[in-house]
C-alpha cells in the first residue's frame, strides 16, 4: 500500500494552553467596550477586535488575581489539577480570547462544510437519531424474538451481535467453539441461520447493523444471499457492516487474515457495495473499541480517522473515484463519561474528516465529506459495583452523544458488566433514549452548545492533539505500516495504564468503586444462556450440511479460492458460496489458507 500524502490540513488556531492570558499589571481595563457587531462567515454574532481581546485578557488576569485569589483562600480548589477524563487540563474559565472561532472556516452552518455543527441542515428537528439497540444471544430463533420485541417497543433499527466463534470465523461444531456458542451473541453458521434470524422482518423496510469484522465479507454475503432468495433487489436493502479490520489489529484482536490482505478484502467490499448495494454502509470505521481498550479521546479521534484515511487511500489506489464510495463510509464512536469532552470530540471529528476528504482527496460531493456516525455509551465505564448507578452514567453519555450530533445510538444496559442484558434492563436503556428525544427538549434546536467558549476551545484542543497523532502516522507510511510497527497499540496501552494508576491512587473517582462504596451489594436479575444452545445449533448445522448440494458447495469454495489467489473481487464468489449453504468456517478456512494468518507484533 503506498504511503499517504503529507498532511495538507492546517492545525486549528492556538488555544489557551498555547498562549498567555494576560498579565496582572495591566489589570482593570475591561474588554466589553471593544465588542463589535459582525455578520460574516457562517453566521451572525459578536466578536472582539484585537484591542478588545487584549483588554479581555487583562480583565481576566485581574479577575484571577483578585476575586479568584480571594475566593480560593477561603475555599481552596478541590484538586491541584482539573482535567478531562482523558487528562486534558481544563481552564477555570473560557472566553472569546481562548476560542477565536472563525465561523466560516471552523463552524459553518448545519449541513454545510465543514459540518462541525451537524451533517444535516435540520438535524433532529427533521428526524430523530436512529435508536439501534445491540441485540444477539443464543440461537437465531432467540435473537429473532428479541429483535421483534425491540421493534415493538419503539426501536428504529436493528443491530446484530454475533457470538465469539462467529466473530472469529469458526462454526458452532468446531472444537474451538466449545463453551462459546451463543454466549456473547447469536451463532450464525450458514445462510439458514440468517433466514431464521430475520424471519418475519422485512429487509427492505428496516436497516440492519452487523457487528462483525474479520469475517465481515462472509456475513454480508449471507445477508445479500438472503435478500436475493426473498426476491428483494439489492438496491433496496440498507444497513451497515462494521468491517473495520484495522481497529481489530489495534484494539479488539478478532482478525481473520493479516493487515494487508484484510485491506484487500475491505476494499473489495467497498467497491462491490458502491456498485451493487448503494444503500449499504460498507465500513463502520470504529473508534469505539479503541476507546474501550483504554485510549484517550484524542487517540480515539486520531486513530479512528487514520483508519478511515487508510481505507480511502486503498480505494483511491485501486482507481475508484472518491465520490463514488466515500458517501457510504460511516463511523462508530464511543461516548465516555466526560460530558463536554465527548461533545467536542464528535464536533472535531466531523470538521477533520470533511477537511481531509476535501483537501487531501479532492472530494467534490458534500455527501463524501460528511462524517455520519453511530455512537454507543461506554461499556468500559459500567461498574459491577452498584449496577443501578450505570443507568445514570448511560443517561449522561447518551445526552452527550445527542448534543454531539450522532446519527444513531445504542445505550448500554445496567447489567452488562455481568451478562447480556435482560429484557427489562434493555427496555430501560431504550427508554433512556426516548426520554431524551421527547422530554428533554435538547432535540428541538441544532447544536445547542455551538458557540460555547469552553466547547469551542475543547473542540480545537482535541483536533490539534489528534492531528499531531495523524502526522506521526503519515510519517510512518500510513496506518497499516503504523499497526505493523505496533505504534497505536503501544500508545493505547500506555494510556490505559495511566488511567488505572489514577484510579488506584484515587486521583480519578468512580462512584461506588473507589468512593461512596456500599456494603452488601444487591443482586440483580441476569440473563443466562443455556449451554443447550450449542447442542441445538450443532444439530441444525449438521442438518444443513446433510441436505445441501455438496458438489455445488465444492465448486463455490473452489471459486472463492481462485478469487482469493487472484485479483477478482471476492464478493460475487462469496455470495455464491453463501447461497450454496457453505458454512462460515468453510469459507473462512479457504481465506486463511490462501491469505495467511497473523500474530500481533506489538511489544508492551
Helix axes 487-504, 297-318, angle to 10 degrees: 170
Task: Inform me whether the pLDDT recorded for 27 exceeds 60.
Answer: no
CA dist 580 and 190 (Å) reads 9
pLDDT tens, 448-497?
Answer: 999 999 999 999 999 999 999 999 999 999 999 999 999 999 999 999 99
- Please state the separation of Cα 84 from the chain's center in Å: 20
Q: Are 375 and 408 in contact (CB under 8 A)?
A: yes
The β-bridge relationship of strands 207-211 and 130-131 is unpaired
CA dist 232 and 201 (Å) reads 12
User: So what's the pLDDT on residue 309?
Assistant: 98
Q: Which residue, 351, 358, 382, is CA-closest to 458?
A: 351
173 secondary structure, DSSP code: T
User: So what's the pLDDT on residue 520?
Assistant: 73
pLDDT tens, 96-147?
Answer: 999 988 888 999 999 999 999 999 999 999 999 999 988 999 999 999 999 9
pLDDT tens, 364-375?
Answer: 999 999 999 999
The maximal CA–CA distance of the chain, rounded, in angstroms, is 88
Residues 18-32, mean pLDDT to the nearest whole number: 33
Residues 188-193, mean pLDDT to the nearest whole number: 98
Q: Which residue, 456, 344, 352, is CA-closest to 400?
A: 344
User: So what's the pLDDT on residue 599?
Assistant: 84
22 pLDDT band, cuts 50/70/90, is: very low
Task: Inform me whether the pLDDT recorded for 356 exceeds 80.
Answer: yes
Percentage of the chain surpassing pLDDT 90? 86
Task: Inform me whether the pLDDT recorded for 579 exceeds 80.
Answer: yes
CA distances from 88 to 298, 396, 465, 477 (A): 10, 20, 10, 28
Task: Inform me whether the pLDDT recorded for 352 exceeds 90.
Answer: yes
Task: Inform me whether the pLDDT recorded for 43 exceeds 80.
Answer: no
More confident residue, 221 or 14: 221
Task: Inform me whether the pLDDT recorded for 358 exceeds 70.
Answer: yes
602 pLDDT band, cuts 50/70/90, is: low
User: So what's the pLDDT on residue 101?
Assistant: 85
Which residue carries 464528535 as its cell? Answer: 346
User: So what's the pLDDT on residue 518?
Assistant: 82
Phi then psi dihedrals of residue 65, to 5 deg: -75, -25
CA dist 437 and 433 (Å) reads 6
The b/e string for 361-380 (b: 16+ C-beta within 10 A; e otherwise) is bebeebebbbbbbbbbbbbb
Residues 190-209, mean pLDDT to the nearest whole number: 96
49 pLDDT band, cuts 50/70/90, is: confident
Phi then psi dihedrals of residue 25, to 5 deg: -65, -20
Task: Inform me whether the pLDDT recorded for 202 exceeds 90.
Answer: yes
Q: Which three cell numbers stand for residue 14?
A: 492556538
Task: Inform me whether the pLDDT recorded for 245 exceeds 90.
Answer: yes
Phi then psi dihedrals of residue 432, to 5 deg: -55, -45
Q: What is the pTM assigned to this prediction?
A: 0.89
The distance in angstroms from the start CA to the end CA of the chain is 26
User: So what's the pLDDT on residue 328?
Assistant: 95
Q: Which residue, 3, 57, 56, is CA-closest to 34?
A: 56
DSSP line for 11-52: PPPP-GGGS----GGGTT--SGGGEEEEEETTEEEEEE-HHH
Q: Are 180 and 164 in contact (CB under 8 A)?
A: yes
CA dist 576 and 582 (Å) reads 9
pLDDT tens, 382-417?
Answer: 999 999 999 999 999 999 999 999 999 999 999 999
Residues 278-291, mean pLDDT to the nearest whole number: 96
Q: Which stretch of 18-27, 275-284, 563-572 has the lowest confidence by average pLDDT?
A: 18-27
Task: Inform me whether the pLDDT recorded for 12 exceeds 90.
Answer: no
Q: Which residue, 570, 29, 12, is CA-closest to 273?
A: 570
Q: Are 165 and 172 in contact (CB under 8 A)?
A: yes
Task: Inform me whether the pLDDT recorded for 8 exceeds 70.
Answer: no
Q: Which stretch of 44-48, 140-144, 195-199 has the lowest confidence by average pLDDT?
A: 44-48
Residues 336-359, mean pLDDT to the nearest whole number: 98
User: So what's the pLDDT on residue 414?
Assistant: 97
CA distances from 40 to 50, 85, 102, 103, 160 (A): 17, 35, 9, 8, 46
Residue 394, SS3 per DSSP: helix
Side-chain-facing half-sphere of 86: CA atoms under 13 Å: 26
Q: Which CATH architecture has domain 103-504?
A: Alpha-Beta Barrel (3.20)
Domain spans of the chain? 103-504
16 pLDDT band, cuts 50/70/90, is: very low
Q: Which residue, 445, 456, 450, 343, is CA-closest to 396?
A: 343
> What average pLDDT does the structure give for the chain?
91
Q: Which stretch of 2-11, 30-39, 109-118, 507-516 has the lowest confidence by average pLDDT?
A: 30-39
Q: Which three cell numbers stand for residue 69?
A: 485569589
Amino acid at each position: 500500500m503506498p504511503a499517504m500524502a503529507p498532511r495538507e490540513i492546517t492545525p486549528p488556531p492556538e488555544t489557551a494552553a498555547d498562549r498567555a492570558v494576560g498579565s496582572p499589571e495591566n489589570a482593570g481595563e475591561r474588554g466589553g467596550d471593544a465588542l463589535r457587531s459582525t455578520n460574516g462567515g457562517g453566521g451572525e454574532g459578536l466578536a472582539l477586535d484585537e484591542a478588545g481581546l487584549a483588554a479581555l485578557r487583562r480583565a481576566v488576569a485581574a479577575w484571577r488575581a483578585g476575586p479568584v485569589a480571594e475566593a480560593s483562600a477561603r475555599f481552596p480548589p478541590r484538586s491541584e489539577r482539573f482535567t478531562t477524563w482523558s487528562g486534558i487540563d481544563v481552564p477555570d474559565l473560557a472566553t472569546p480570547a481562548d476560542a477565536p472561532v472563525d465561523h466560516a472556516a471552523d463552524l459553518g452552518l448545519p449541513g454545510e462544510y465543514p459540518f462541525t455543527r451537524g451533517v444535516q441542515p435540520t438535524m433532529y428537528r427533521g428526524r430523530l437519531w436512529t435508536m439501534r439497540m445491540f441485540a444477539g444471544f443464543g440461537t437465531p430463533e432467540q435473537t429473532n424474538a428479541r429483535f421483534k420485541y425491540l421493534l415493538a417497543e419503539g426501536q428504529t433499527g436493528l443491530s446484530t451481535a454475533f457470538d465469539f466463534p462467529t466473530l472469529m470465523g469458526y462454526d458452532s461444531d468446531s472444537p474451538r467453539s466449545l463453551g462459546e456458542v451463543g454466549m456473547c451473541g447469536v451463532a450464525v453458521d450458514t445462510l439458514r441461520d440468517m433466514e431464521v434470524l430475520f424471519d418475519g422482518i422485512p429487509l427492505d423496510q428496516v436497516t440492519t447493523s452487523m457487528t462483525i469484522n474479520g469475517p465481515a465479507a462472509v456475513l454480508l454475503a449471507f445477508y445479500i444471499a438472503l435478500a436475493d432468495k426473498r426476491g428483494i433487489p439489492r438496491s433496496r436493502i440498507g444497513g451497515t457492516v462494521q468491517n473495520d479490520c484495522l481497529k481489530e489489529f489495534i484494539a479488539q484482536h478478532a482478525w481473520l487474515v493479516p493487515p494487508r490482505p484484510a485491506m484487500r478484502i475491505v476494499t473489495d467490499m467497498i467497491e462491490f457495495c458502491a456498485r451493487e448495494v448503494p444503500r449499504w454502509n460498507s465500513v463502520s470505521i470504529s473508534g469505539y473499541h479503541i476507546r474501550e481498550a483504554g485510549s484517550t479521546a484524542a487517540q480515539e479521534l486520531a486513530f479512528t480517522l487514520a483508519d478511515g484515511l487508510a481505507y480511502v487511500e486503498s480505494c483511491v489506489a485501486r482507481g475508484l473515484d472518491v465520490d463514488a464510495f466515500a458517501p457510504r463510509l460511516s463511523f462508530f464512536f464511543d461516548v465516555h463519561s466526560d460530558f463536554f469532552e465527548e461533545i467536542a470530540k464528535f464536533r472535531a471529528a466531523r470538521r477533520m474528516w470533511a477537511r481531509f476528504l476535501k483537501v487531501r482527496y479532492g472530494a467534490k460531493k458534500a455527501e463524501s465529506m460528511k462524517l455520519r456516525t453511530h455512537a454507543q455509551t461506554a461499556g468500559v465505564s459500567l461498574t459491577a459495583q452498584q449496577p443501578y448507578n450505570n443507568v445514570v452514567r448511560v443517561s449522561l453519555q447518551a445526552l452527550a452523544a445527542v448534543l454531539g450530533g450522532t446519527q444513531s445510538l445504542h445505550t448500554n444496559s445496567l447489567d452488562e458488566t455481568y451478562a447480556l442484558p435482560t429484557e427489562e434492563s434493555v427496555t430501560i436503556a431504550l427508554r433512556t433514549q426516548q426520554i431524551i428525544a421527547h422530554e428533554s427538549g435538547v432535540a428541538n434546536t441544532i447544536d445547542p452548545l455551538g458557540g460555547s467558549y469552553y466547547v469551542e476551545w475543547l473542540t480545537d484542543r482535541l483536533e490539534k492533539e489528534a492531528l499531531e497523532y495523524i502526522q506521526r502516522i503519515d510519517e510512518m507510511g500510513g496506518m497499516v505500516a503504523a499497526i505493523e510497527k505496533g505504534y497505536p497499540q503501544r500508545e493505547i496501552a500506555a494510556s490505559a495504564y495511566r488511567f488505572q494508576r489514577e484510579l488506584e491512587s484515587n486521583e480519578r473517582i468512580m462512584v461506588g468503586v473507589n468512593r461512596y462504596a456500599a456494603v452488601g451489594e444487591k443482586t440483580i436479575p441476569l440473563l443466562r444462556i443455556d449451554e443447550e444452545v450449542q447442542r441445538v445449533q450443532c444439530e441444525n448445522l449438521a442438518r444443513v450440511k446433510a441436505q445441501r448440494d455438496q458438489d455445488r458447495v465444492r465448486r463455490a469454495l473452489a471459486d472463492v479460492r481462485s478469487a482469493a489467489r487472484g485479483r477478482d473481487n471476492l464478493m460475487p464468489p462469496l455470495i455464491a458460496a453463501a447461497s450454496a449453504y457453505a458454512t462460515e468456517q468453510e469459507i473462512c478456512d479457504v481465506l486463511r489458507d490462501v491469505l495467511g494468518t497473523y500474530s500481533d507484533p506489538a511489544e508492551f
